Structure 1
Amino acid sequence: MAPVDQKQPAPDAPLHVAIVMDGNGRWAKRRGLPRQVGHPKGVDAIRRVVEAAPDQGVRWLTLYAFSTENWRRPAGEVAEVMRLLKLYVNSDLDKLAREGVRVRILGRRDGLPPDIAEIVERAERQTAHNDRFFLQVAFNYGGRADLVDAARALAKEAAEGRLDPETIDEDAVSRRLSTGGTPDPDLVIRTSGEQRLSNFLLWETAYSEFVFQDVLWPDYNAAYLHAAIEEFQKRERRYGGAVADDVLAAG
């Protein structure tokens, strides 16, 4: 049973929530349907969460939509994901723009089909002036690929004499990732009961809290998001440090 829905923002809510949206295919298979049938239901869940997140105190929401590895999936399933991306942007972009949502697409742009590249650019351009809520969609994204691209950018700047290698620090790497300028996620949620990152935000999640929920993504809603935030609020974030009691016990 889903937890009770809450409309009031949670105190000390995570400002940035990242979600690995997992379970569309299994949702369909459990109903005796082809895997790709689950993806439209997953889009419905995206709409619910994008609407609910600001009410729960979240300002940045990052959704893992399509990885660099997902191109290996059956061609029919990949084509359905592409169709749904275009459908979602065409049907929802004007509403997102009116409501102050800024859309940002993470991931590699090179090699995207021209119609998908146009959709990506239009979504970012049309919402570039907004700052009420930030929606990031990781599409053709991989954490390792993003780190490789950042390393290449740094190497190129150094080779051209525009960057002293001795000045490269964590901030320099962060600025050259596709998430550059965005705060690191406070909370990472993965649905479907799986407990792994799957190459998602490898650099940015160094000190994130993780909540794994045993619900397939098409069934996700505001109540599950609220439950994850409540779990987050029970955690004590130390960022590699220790609280006084731990120091005393160690001594």
Structure 2
Amino acid sequence: MERLGQLARGAYERLLELELSGTPSHVAVIQDGNRRYARQQGDDASEGHRAGAETTEQVLEWCRETGIDELTLYTFSTENFDRPEEENEALFDLLCEKLREFADADRVHDSEVRIRAIGETGKLPERVREAIDYAERRTAGYDNLQLNIALAYGGRAELLSAARDVTSEVDRGALGAGDIDVETIEDRLYEGPSRDVDLIVRTGGDERTSNFLPWHANGNEAAVYFCTPYWPEFRKVDFLRAIRTYEHREESWRKTRARRALALVRALGGTEVNDARRVLRRFKDALPSAEREAIESETDAEFERTAD
């Protein structure tokens, strides 16, 4: 029965892979459930974190296979400092081990993976900071796949720090209040993610994003996939389902943009209608064929009226 289940999962994975027509550029993962998995197995928390680290290696390989450009992992939040000291110390030891192991792994260098840490890393123990520095230096020249590891990370703290920096510069006269724009804030965020997040994945059953990359999620534009398996149980089929969720969200977004533009074309005049037409031309292929045919008929009729 176990062998039959494996064959069925493998067939389903291949079916999902065939159905996918595109992949997100940047996936962010909230790796939840390591401790609950350990309790379920009758182990201590450190064994759950170690099992989770194995899943992380697999996900990195799946990203490479599907052509994802950037992966950000929520590994240790600022709130995690409140956990029992012995648990955190064991996790810090594991982080040191895995960072150095990743930095030396042939598969990382063959795939040209760049490793970066984001967060208030100065709050971490010295041995962890040294391991981060080692991994970043060893992979600094790569740009095929970027792996961001969020350590001592908190989204609110990141935005608050950026706001304080901007306020301080305005007070000093180094920056005008009217000059503050998106780039002004982005330049003061943690160095790390190089693009907006397209898809957020959370394992473990909770349906919340827990203060993770609020700026890079670009408001509510990022697709979100919640699933029940604990992080050590996360399988490739779950990963592919997450990407399918992103595709459906992207398809829905394109349809919405096209329909809004069509409504504007029908309702507006002057310069506004030209902007709406540009949007409509860009996204009309996302509409069902009947709607596309109606648009083309309207366009032909308008052209004839203009010619007369």
Compute the TM-score of the two structures, normalised by the length of structure 2: 0.74
Alpha-carbon offset, residue 86 of structure 1: 0.5
- Aligned pairs for 1:44-193 (under 5 A) are 44-95=54-105, 96-179=108-191, 182-193=194-205
Shift in CA distance, 142/237, structure 1 to aligned 2, threshold 3 Å: farther
Pairing 1:213–2:227 present:
yes
**Greater CA deviation, 120-129 or 140-149?**
120-129
- In structure 2, distance between residues paired with 1:180 and 1:164: 26
User: Residue in 2 aligned with 1:226?
Assistant: 240
| 2:206 alignment partner, one of 184, 194, 206 | 194
User: Residue in 1 aligned with 2:290?
Assistant: none
Q: Give the partner amino acid of 2:13.
A: D
Q: Is the 8 A contact 1:9 1:57 kept in 2?
A: no
**Greater CA deviation, 125-134 or 221-230?**
221-230
Shift in CA distance, 247/212, structure 1 to aligned 2, threshold 3 Å: farther
More helix by share: 2
Shift in CA distance, 80/11, structure 1 to aligned 2, threshold 3 Å: same
**Greater CA deviation, 131-140 or 175-184?**
175-184
Alpha-carbon offset, residue 245 of structure 1: 6.9
> SS of the residue aligned with 2:174?
coil
User: Residue in 1 aligned with 2:273?
Assistant: none
User: Residue in 1 aligned with 2:276?
Assistant: none
User: Residue in 1 aligned with 2:43?
Assistant: 33
> SS of the residue aligned with 1:110?
helix
| 2:34 alignment partner, one of 12, 24, 28 | 24
> SS of the residue aligned with 2:122?
coil
Larger Rg over CA atoms: 2
- In structure 2, distance between residues paired with 1:143 and 1:203: 8
Alpha-carbon offset, residue 57 of structure 1: 2.1
Structure 2: gaps of 5 or more residues: 268-308
> SS of the residue aligned with 1:14?
coil
- In structure 2, distance between residues paired with 1:138 and 1:186: 17
Q: Give the partner amino acid of 1:227.
A: R
Compute the TM-score of the two structures, normalised by the length of structure 1: 0.90
Provide the alpha-carbon RMSD of the alignment: 2.4
How many residue pairs match? The answer is 248
User: Residue in 2 aligned with 1:5?
Assistant: 13
- In structure 2, distance between residues paired with 1:72 and 1:223: 34
- Deviation per residue, 1:198-232 (Å, 9 max, x gap): 11111221110101111110012322211211121
